Amino acid sequence: MKKKCGKWRKVLPLLYVLILMISLMPTNTKAAENSYAVNGGMETDFWTDGSWSFQDLDDSQVEVHHFAYAEDTWIKPAEGQYALKFWIKDNASAQTFKVKQTAASLPAGKYELTVQTMGGADKEAGQVALFAGSSKTSQAATKGYNNWETQSLTFELSQDTANFEFGAEIAGQPNTWGYLDGFSLKKVDGSATEPVESDIFVEKVEGLNDNFIKGVDVSSVITQEDSGVTYYNEAGQEQDIFKTLADSGVNYVRVRIWNDPYDASGNGYGGGNNDLEKAKEIGKRATANGMKLLVDFHYSDFWADPAKQQAPKAWANLSLEDKKKALYSYTKDSLQALLNEGINIGMVQVGNETTGGFVGEKDWTKMSELFNEGSKAIKEVDPNILTALHFTNPETAGRYASIAKTLDDNNVDYDVFASSYYPFWHGSLSNLTSVLKNVADTYGKKVMVAETSYTYTSIDGDGHENTAPKSSGQTLNYPVTVQGQATAVRDVIEAVANVGDAGIGVFYWEPAWIPVGSPDKLAQNKAIWEKYGSGWASSYAAEYDPHDAGAWFGGSAVDNQALFDFNGKPLASLNVFKYVNTGAVAPVKIEKLTDVTIEAAAGEDIKLPETVTAVYNDGTEGPIAVTWDEQALIEAINAGIGEYVINGTVEGGLSVKANLTIKPENFVQNPSFEEADKSMWKITYPNDLAPHADFLKNPADAKSGEHSLHFYSADRVDFTVEQTITGLTPGYYDASMFIQGGDAAAANMKLYVKTNDKQYDVPTNVTGWNIWADPKISDILILNGTVTIGASIQANAGAWGSLDDFSFVKTADYEEAVEEEEQTPPAQDDQAEDSDEQEEVSAGEEINNETTVKQEEPKQETEKHETNKQVKEENTQQEQKGNSLPDTATSIFNFLLLGSVLLVSGAILYKI
């Protein structure tokens, strides 16, 4: 993970990427050792590779497919990109058949067989039962589209068993359909080691190899110590951090190396100023404490990640051939220099997060040639050192399969396929296991996670904003607590271990990058960051990276993701690296209380809940009684529209908050699509287009709640969605909605409102995932009680996005507006004449043409935050001012006005 890299981590939503990406999956597979269920994720074609066989399958009655999730726009994948799909034909009789596999040999022990199932409901439900040898579960019915469930069967073998058969039995009536995915057969027994008593709960990771890498990247630690940071042991005594790490179960240290992270005057770029000399010092201290070293060559003078793969200054003008020679020599010389210091090097990375480029090259053929130069140098120095290549964004469908195939096609020599995985950005753990297992099984590579982390507090420790947690664009499936952090790390370790023997380890990124000073000493902190390079970047980096580091240099953006507290004492979560082998238990206590969010319309009866959700450190949750500040609630209700925080307490004195928002009444029914009945919304398309918008449940793509209106089309996007509202009282109203998405070329998108005689609209657009635009239309005059609010969305092929939170609220009564008009002082004669002329023209235009009033396009203000370069766009609507009736006045008034003018004109002509 790199400071200032949040923008590229905001990748496309999974549903739509499934359509866009080409999944380059091979047709043969090589099972990883000790992985008992071969092709359990159905990622290769079982018809051609023979990984699964079928018994009692009548092809004339039943269809079975190797199904690609990309074939169905709206399906929620269980894992990976493929599944087994079955359908009992509508003219068939009742059917029962088996999908099965035979393990050549299973050692004695206890096992668990699991599978994920989904399919039809009621009469179309598939009945699925797992079997393993003579053991079998009862039948379980599928429960409807996208309702995935996991079935499991636990059994025990008293002796080693050959040719052991396992799988699933499927039964159903005509028109039964369903999917199977994620078969897993794991040995679940192990040593009888009792869990260790601790301050945190850690569930033991079964079957973890003794050589499994439990690593940390502490590249910034030298500059941290130079800046005055002190590290302690659990007893609060000052201690070498490398000993503390080793005592906590860490067995590997990762260190990044930049070629020349200094300007011409010798000023460091920051981020640890990680040159070769820093790597030597870190490597020697790691080796002295019994840990191996992973050398992470960035082949850059500063941060390299998917958004930035800039060649070192000295290589900037080299040809490809000269660049290859330089990379080979630099790798070989640097590696030998490290070994000469007696450092125990186990692995070397050729590049860092090279998903989008490498050493300034973006063509994969050229990148592959450069990869091979690094690998060649490593093998010549020591063939026992593992060569790793490092990529990121495993959640993007088909990405790792495509990259691994490209590397194989280009004959790239490497040992380890490494991935970044941050839980708040990179999708599910089951998907991580699936995509890494596919690479391991197909190409015989070892796999690992080279970077992960999780936040334990939302507090900023040094005055430089943190990358997480954020209110949008992140999936926080764990509590932001020390326990949540420990569980997140434990689960990533398990996900890699689930790959099998090919899953070799996990590295935690920068657990020691804590504050050099408190937030109230920001000026002092900045001076330290500049002097020692202990912030993510110094101002001196501007010469090399002017657009990012040069503009947003500063401190640590991950101090709240460290495994040490702000004062340098290890958190209980640091011990997760040893507890995954034994398990750990702790006294059960409340880890956090979940704050309450309540929205209500002005005038509604507002009641706060009697209980809130308590999250306990053992991972369980439950309700607990709460006492609210009733006086504060009464004051908020009396104050009316606004945002309020009502404090509450539970037994034991822990506090919780109710975030109360009192809004004007929203007359849009089901405005956020959360209710099951969505019949009030009408979606229409041109006659030549198939439907390509639907209401989907996916919290990551919703502005609020869990649902939104998604759209995507591989042809073109063109639809309207609208709702007609009736029974409105006369007055002025405001309309708004939220929209996000991307890839919208030639876009024509707008929010619109239609009254009985006018249409108002405001343009909008999509600029990226979770970058929400908020178009608004103000001062809409409603007299007859009926209005239609909607959105028109048009864009070229491949556009995607979601709409959410429509709003139509009253801002003023019509009678009040008329009274204000009557109180307006009379205009001067010349001004009155001008006004009459303008109103006469306006009235004439309105009689002959239906008026379309277009609001000014919202201004877009782009704010670059210092932490993750996330672009936030805010749309503001220019206010209409003045005392005359607005353009939204009805044509009746204008008609009367025109009639008065004509009568006066006639009288004057008559006199003449």
Nearest CA among 444, 578, 488, 491 for reference residue 35: 444
What distance in Å separates the CA atoms of residue 511 and residue 513, rounded to the nearest whole number? 6
Q: What is the dihedral of CA 302, 305, 307, 312, to 10 degrees?
A: 30
CA gap 818, 704 in Å, rounded = 37
Q: How many CB atoms lie within 10 A of CB 50?
A: 12
Q: Count other C-beta atoms under 10 Å from residue 526's C-beta.
A: 21
Contacts of 504 by beta carbon, 8 Å cutoff, 6+ apart: 209, 211, 212, 213, 416, 446, 447, 448, 496
Hey, what are 125's tokens?
């439900």
Contact 762, 789 (CB under 8 A): no
Using alpha carbons only, give the angle 34, 35, 41 rounded to the nearest 5 degrees: 175
Going by the DSSP 8-state scheme, the letter that residue 50 receives in this structure is -
Cα-Cα-Cα-Cα dihedral sign, residues 347, 352, 356, 360: negative
Separation of alpha carbons 575 and 202, rounded Å:
9
Q: Is the distance from CB of 294 to CB of 219 less than 8 angstroms?
A: no
Give the residue carrying structure tokens 């093998």: 379
d(CA 573, CA 579): 10
Task: Kindly report whether the peptide bond that precedes residue 469 is cis, defined as omega within 30 degrees of 0.
Answer: yes
Extract the tokens encoding 245. Answer: 């790490």
Residue 559 and residue 212: Cα distance in Å, rounded? 27
Q: Which parts of 146-289 fold into alpha helices (H)?
A: 221-226, 241-247, 276-288
- Distance, CA of 729 to CA of 726 (rounded, Å): 9
Q: 298 vs 257, 383, 393, 418, 681, CA distance in Å?
A: 6, 21, 18, 14, 52
| 886 exposure class (CB count in 10 Å sphere: 0-12, 13-18, 19+) | middle
**Residue in 43, 206, 451, 866 annotated catalytic:** 451
Is 465 an active-site residue? no
| Buried residues in 310-342 as b, exposed as e (16+ CB within 10 A) | bbbbebeebeeeebbebbbebbbebbeebeeee
Nearest-angstrom CA–CA distance, 571 and 591: 14
Active-site residue flag, 156: no
Nearest CA to 417 out of 434, 432, 436, 433 is that of: 436
AA letter at 167:
G
Contacting residues for 227 by C-beta, under 8 A, at least 6 apart: 516, 528, 529, 531, 532, 534
Of 353, 722, 839, 873, catalytic: 353
Q: Which residues are catalytic?
A: 353, 451
